[in-house]
Structure 1
Amino acid sequence: MSHRNAPLSETGRLRLARCVVEDGWPLRRAAERFQVAVTTAQRWATRYRELGPTGMADRSSRPHRSPHQTPTRTERRIIKVRVIRRWGPARIGYLLGIHPSTVHRVLMRYGIARLRWLDRPTGRVIRRIESAAVGDLVHVDVKKVGKIPAGGGWRMLGRTVGNRNSKADKSSGRRSKWGDPLRGHHFLHTAIDGYSRLVYSEMLADERKETAAEFWTRANAWFEHCGITVRKVLTDNGSCYRSHTFREALGRVEHRRTRPYRPQTNGKVERFHRTLADEWAYARLYTSDAERCAEYPRWLHTYNYHRGHTALGGQPPAARVPNLSGQYS
């Protein structure tokens, strides 16, 4: 297909060819008149002699023969393995003895859905929940994060040194400034707006119903301070979210719960927790649990106001909330 600045459109090609074939113009004169090469003028004149006006249309650039194209039988085997086992190009290529790039091209040619679009147990295409405005749906969940013993944990120092530090903390009976022993877990309660991805999160001591209800009360007040009126809340089927205490804390906010064993439904907050683990919890070597806890509010501010989000076209979540203060701090 000719682009907008091409010297010859189909109409221009027809005029050039008629000047040469019907009016008898020399090829060089026609080429100068239409500002193309002599070989180009000759090509269109030849096509006009052979095919007439229909020969002025663009032709497909696909070759007539592709001797090195993947055999149809091999393509069928690739698609069969993909549908039955739901493997990616690398594993399929290893099984069939084919380069992964070849497998990828075959899957793309036949329009096979990407694995990240599929529900692995059923093979069905995932229907993603997209909110139309801020506050339409807020996803709520809890993530447990292990505490760091003094000196560092096993993820950064290795299991030998990390486990030695952990045992030393347990034997010493040391206690942190929150009063609990320096072992166990923190419970990160998170509420994320489905439209803007703006997050409110707290590091709490447990996930009991009273804790979850009090967290939502503070989260809802924070969203209102940001100018967001929450209309619906989505949680899993954890006992704290099925309690009357949490229902009373929601008030007029509509409560939705995911189907059992379907964490994908609450995928936005699940994905945030993965980002949290990669970029804060295990991103660098923390020598103490207090050091990592102190870093969490700063990282959360960066996530909300400065970190580009791929689902938002590279903009931070705050960019989707009108007149939100703190965006440039």
Structure 2
Amino acid sequence: MHSNARTTVHARRLIVTRHAAGWAPARIAEQLGISRTTVHKWLTRHRHEGDAGLADRSSRPHLSPRRTPPEVEQRILTTRRTTRRGPVHLSGLLGLPASTIGRVLRRHDEPPLSAIDPITGAPVRRRHSGLRYERPHPGDLLHIDVKKLGRVPVGGGWRMHGRSETVRGRGIGYDYLHVAVDDRTRLAYVEALPDERDPTCAGFLHRAVEWFHRRRVRVLRILTDNAKVYRVGTNWRAVCVALGIRRRFIKPGCPWTNGKAERFNRTLQTEFAYARAWTSNIDRLAALPAWVHDYNTRRAHSALGGRPPISRLAA
């Protein structure tokens, strides 16, 4: 029953009872505060269907000639469960409107991506980020961060062999993925480096700015967390001064201020680092440049209306 219904099943039975007792439809309507048309509707239904005709009916139409065919719906569901991607990305894969895909997913009660594990598909709980913002021009602000990933042991780790075995990969160290994401375009530049010390970070920044410069983007400001290397690193400061870059820092205890880098790191984890079971660390590092290129030039980005980051640069 919808929230604005004037009658219940009890009221409809009362209409039938009083009409059988000799009440006129106009009097029944006045007494119950409804129209005479409504009274006649329920009397007619009871006459043709009995008490069953007084129950609520679904508002779903008898025919839906424009509804997505079942085979197409099944293809959408299969692709969603295989890739675990949203309607915008599925639209590019299947050649269907994202709005149609979204309706099909809701119709079949598919959980949102934020509520499932990106690898297993099992339900999880996630925290949602805050408000979205962006700078007006490319290069106005570059988000800088480092994502630390445990190295993959030769032959694969627990994702391939399971947790029941002896822990694999303990003590083999980490790869430090240095990330630079342009605030306006979401273009990303990534390098896998052996550490996050001052000379390493400074070298990364110099190469990142050069990479953006080749794409006609002049970096004016950078945003980082409050790590010591960014605050007082001698080499880091020297590169910023030499390139004329203004430094900004997030508010302590508020990592979401650097949200675009944090969001990119999550995408990098779910769609690259942990999207498959790697057999070696060398294989994973070798695949990183191609994945970043695909992210920049082909992957549909929901914040950009389903277009890749490179499209913002062309515009």
- Residue 77 (structure 1) aligns with: none
Which structure would you say has the larger Rg? 1
1:286 counterpart (274, 278, 292): 278
Letter of the 2:299 counterpart: R
In 2, distance between residues paired with 1:151 and 1:205?
Answer: 21
Matches within 5 A, 1:164-313: 165-166=168-169, 183-242=172-231, 243-251=233-241, 252-313=244-305
> Which consecutive residues of structure 2, in runs of 5 or more, have no partner in the other structure?
1-108, 110-126
In 1, distance between residues paired with 2:205 and 2:267?
Answer: 22
Q: Offset of 1:155 from its aligned partner?
A: 2.9
In 2, distance between residues paired with 1:156 and 1:258?
Answer: 38
1:177-221, Cα deviation, whole Å (9 max, x unpaired): xxxxxx110000010000100011100000001100010000000
SS at match of 1:159: coil
- Residue 148 (structure 1) aligns with: 152
Letter of the 2:235 counterpart: T
In 2, distance between residues paired with 1:309 and 1:227?
Answer: 21
Matches within 5 A, 1:65-214: 116=128, 126-161=130-165, 163=167, 165-166=168-169, 183-214=172-203
In 1, distance between residues paired with 2:224 and 2:166?
Answer: 34
Letter of the 1:160 counterpart: S
Letter of the 2:212 counterpart: F
SS at match of 1:142: strand
> Which protein has greater RCO, CA pairs closer than 8 Å, 6+ apart?
2
SS at match of 2:267: helix
Q: CA contact under 8 A between 1:155 and 1:162: conserved in structure 2?
A: no
Q: Offset of 1:160 from its aligned partner?
A: 2.9
1:26-58, Cα deviation, whole Å (9 max, x unpaired): xxxxxxxxxxxxxxxxxxxxxxxxxxxxxxxxx
Residues 310 and 127 (structure 1 numbering): CA distance in 2 closer, same or farther, change over 3 Å?
closer
- Residue 326 (structure 1) aligns with: none
Q: Offset of 1:161 from its aligned partner?
A: 3.3
SS at match of 1:201: strand
Q: CA contact under 8 A between 2:221 and 2:248: conserved in structure 1?
A: yes
Q: CA contact under 8 A between 2:141 and 2:221: conserved in structure 1?
A: yes
SS at match of 2:149: strand
1:68-88, Cα deviation, whole Å (9 max, x unpaired): xxxxxxxxxxxxxxxxxxxxx
Q: Offset of 1:281 from its aligned partner?
A: 0.4
Q: CA contact under 8 A between 1:152 and 1:162: conserved in structure 2?
A: no
SS at match of 1:192: strand
In 1, distance between residues paired with 2:153 and 2:281?
Answer: 6
Q: Offset of 1:128 from its aligned partner?
A: 3.7
Q: Offset of 1:162 from its aligned partner?
A: 6.3
- Identity value in percent: 45
TM-score, structure 2 as length reference: 0.57
Q: CA contact under 8 A between 1:186 and 1:204: conserved in structure 2?
A: yes
In 2, distance between residues paired with 1:244 and 1:262?
Answer: 25
SS at match of 1:191: strand
Letter of the 1:148 counterpart: V
Q: Offset of 1:156 from its aligned partner?
A: 3.6
Q: Offset of 1:250 from its aligned partner?
A: 1.2
In 2, distance between residues paired with 1:151 and 1:198?
Answer: 33
Letter of the 2:249 counterpart: R
Letter of the 1:237 counterpart: N
SS at match of 1:297: helix
Q: CA RMSD for the aligned pairs?
A: 1.8
Q: CA contact under 8 A between 1:187 and 1:205: conserved in structure 2?
A: yes
Q: Offset of 1:137 from its aligned partner?
A: 0.6
Letter of the 2:208 counterpart: A
In 2, distance between residues paired with 1:233 and 1:162?
Answer: 43
TM-score, structure 1 as length reference: 0.54
Q: Offset of 1:158 from its aligned partner?
A: 1.6
Residues 236 and 280 (structure 1 numbering): CA distance in 2 closer, same or farther, change over 3 Å?
same
In 2, distance between residues paired with 1:257 and 1:316?
Answer: 28
Letter of the 1:207 counterpart: E
